[in-house]
Amino acid sequence: QVQLVESGGGLVQAGGSLRLSCAASGHTFSRYVMGWFRQAPGKERGFVAAISWSGSSTIYADSVKGRFTISRDNAKNTVYLEMNSLKPEDTAVYYCAARFAASLDVRTYQYNYWGQGTQVTVSL
C-alpha cells in the first residue's frame, strides 16, 4: 500500500507559477514510477507528467511541455510538479499517482495508487 497526499494548489493569475508536492508513505517510494494527472469540471482525468524511479526519465503531455517540470526526491519520498506560465485552461484538480512498474505510462488505469487531489485555479 502507498498513501499519497498532494499539497500546493491554490489560486493564481495567468502567467503565474505554482509548485505542487506529493508526499508518499507506506512502501518503497523509489520503486514507483510517479505521475501527475488533472481533471477539469466535466472532463475526464488526463495525463500531465510522469517520472521514472531514478528521476532520469520524464514525459509530458504536449499541452504542458516547456511550462511544467516534474521532479522527485526519493530521500524525502516526495514528487513535485513545478508549473510556470500558467493558463486558465490549466485549471483543474491535480492528482498524484504511483505505478509499481519500471516503465513510464500516460494511461490512468496503469497507476495503482492515487492521492485525493489538490485544486489549481488560474484566473485571467
Tell me the pLDDT tens digit for each residue of 52-100. Answer: 999 999 999 999 999 999 999 999 999 999 999 999 999 999 999 999 9
Considering only residues 110 and 27, tell me which one the structure prediction assigns the higher pLDDT.
110
Residue written as grid cell 521532479: 71
pLDDT of residue 36: 98
Confidence band for 34, pLDDT divided at 50, 70 and 90: very high
Angstrom distances, CA of residue 83 to CA of 7, 19, 63, 65: 13, 6, 12, 10
pLDDT of residue 29: 80
Considering only residues 30 and 80, tell me which one the structure prediction assigns the higher pLDDT.
80
Q: CA 49 to CA 91: how far, in whole Å?
A: 16
Percentage, residues of the chain above pLDDT 70: 100
Nearest to 93 by CA among 19, 37, 14: 37
Contacts of 64 (CB under 8 A, 6+ apart): 48, 49, 83, 90
Written as nine digits, the cell of 74 is: 526519493
CB atoms under 10 Å from CB of 45, counted, come to 16
Confidence band for 27, pLDDT divided at 50, 70 and 90: confident
